[in-house]
Chains A and B, each alone.
Chain A
């Protein structure tokens, strides 16, 4: 590996662990036919909030600029609307590429994406425990993981409204029946191979 291939993720470690580098190569393959036309950028409803446009993100993926990619907000701003995938003249799986980048960030617990990562992981934790998501448990796990009591206050009005309608009910996180435990475990096992 050349020094240029190493990525520094400052909040975590000097260089990225091997898996990041491996999976980035797969991701590069997903967009290798990109012609930099920018149709993705023009189609993206969230482009206005991104630091790199989707087209610029693909360029950085092609160039292996891990430092830039994993300090950019761009992939975490993808709301999975599939407009770019639908319109890409090269037929590239762009939405899936965004998700593949989210998956690396989640696996490596990269600090810049903490909010989204904890949100998704709290959701999956509730699903793993009970087979179905329990909204209040999921949100409680999320607030606890963010260690920020003000967040709870921000969501309280909607939470109260939903409770008033009987749509969600208060519950402490619990162990559950482990309905999906075996599937989660097998997936983890296969992914480590």
Chain B
């Protein structure tokens, strides 16, 4: 198996451990990742809030660069915000030739042309459907029979394009978590919004959303995520949230490849567990 790889800006910064664990995990499963050369930012949620055309031009530039690469036409994206921006261009340009023309007028500045030939895949999509639980099960060295996990999907890998999961009641992580022996924490918060960048500009609103998620996760040993923004919002403000709600809502928050990788016997160093902002003592004792 071989994919083009677009890590995106967060994975070079606040989500370094998502990048490291994704690469280690994929290597262990003999999946080749060819990182896009000289990749640029997809525009995150900021481009869309300032210019519609820019919010499509930036990801189109990335996809046009991807089309120039040899080997495969599938591009793997771990960050949900990057995934949606790239997916949006893939979907919109296919349905709207006029828009595609406009995008190509812009890309001419970079001497590139976007043909719409690459397929954008979220990391979770690839792990759940291409790799699959059976292959992961066969690699388990360290089954987590004592752990109960709350799968957290967030928004943008599910909506508005429901490619690999039910956008209302997502389940795609469950067979993967069960494949490593762990149980699923029953909850209905997996597809609820974490507040995204409101955490910086409107913290009182985002804290409310994250508090509700952490409260619903009580009883689980960890929340597993597939997006750097969700991960940061769930892990970085726990102290503040515990103080405000006067409850112990501390919770271990791990990226999916970190969690599956641990069960497959990959080391904490390789998976960069040292970079996570919230791994509780209780969780470590159960490993």
**Binary interface encoding of chain B residues 145-158 relative to chain A, with 1 for a CB under 8 A from any of its CBs, else 0:** 00000000001100
**Binary interface encoding of chain A residues 182-193 relative to chain B, with 1 for a CB under 8 A from any of its CBs, else 0:** 111111001100
Whose C-beta in chain A lies nearest to the C-beta of B236? A158
Q: Is B68 on the interface with A (CB-CB < 8 A)?
A: no
Q: Is the interface of A mostly helix, strand, loop or mixed?
A: helix
Q: Across the interface, do A85 and B102 meet the contact criterion of CB distance under 8 Å?
A: no
Which B residues from 191 to 208 make CB contacts under 8 A with A?
Answer: 192-193, 195-198, 200-202, 204-206, 208
How many chain A residues have a CB neighbour from B under 8 Å? 49
Whose C-beta in chain B lies nearest to the C-beta of A94? B160
**Binary interface encoding of chain B residues 30-69 relative to chain A, with 1 for a CB under 8 A from any of its CBs, else 0:** 0000000011110111111111111101100100000000
Other-chain residue from B51, B160, B202 in contact with A77 (beta carbon distance below 8 A) = B202
A167 to B206, CA, bound (A): 23
A185 to B46, CA, bound (A): 17
For A131, list chain B residues within 8 Å (CB).
38, 40-41
A161 to B274, CA, bound (A): 12
Q: Across the interface, do A120 and B54 meet the contact criterion of CB distance under 8 Å?
A: no
Q: Select the stretch in A8-16, A53-61, A62-70, A95-103 that faces chain B.
A: A95-103
Q: Across the interface, do B41 and A127 meet the contact criterion of CB distance under 8 Å?
A: yes
For A81, list chain B residues within 8 Å (CB).
155-156, 159, 193, 196
Which A residues from 116 to 141 make CB contacts under 8 A with B?
Answer: 116, 119-121, 123-124, 127, 131-133, 135
**Binary interface encoding of chain B residues 264-276 relative to chain A, with 1 for a CB under 8 A from any of its CBs, else 0:** 0000000000110
Q: Across the interface, do A86 and B53 meet the contact criterion of CB distance under 8 Å?
A: no
Supposing A120-B46, A183-B58, A186-B105 touch, asked if A85 and B160 sit within 8 A by C-beta, the answer is yes
Supposing A82-B159, A165-B275 touch, asked if A183 and B110 sit within 8 A by C-beta, the answer is yes
Q: Across the interface, do B205 and A106 meet the contact criterion of CB distance under 8 Å?
A: no
Q: Across the interface, do A191 and B275 meet the contact criterion of CB distance under 8 Å?
A: no
A127 to B15, CA, bound (A): 18
* Minimum CB–CB distance for A121 against chain B, Å: 6
For A82, list chain B residues within 8 Å (CB).
155-156, 159-160, 167
Q: Across the interface, do B106 and A183 meet the contact criterion of CB distance under 8 Å?
A: yes
A93 to B274, CA, bound (A): 41
Supposing A103-B51, A124-B47, A191-B53 touch, asked if A79 and B196 sit within 8 A by C-beta, the answer is yes
* Minimum CB–CB distance for A155 against chain B, Å: 8
Q: Is B26 on the interface with A (CB-CB < 8 A)?
A: no
New A-B contacts (7) at CB < 8 Å, excluding given A127-B40, A135-B9, A161-B236: A99-B52, A99-B55, A116-B202, A132-B12, A132-B40, A132-B41, A186-B105
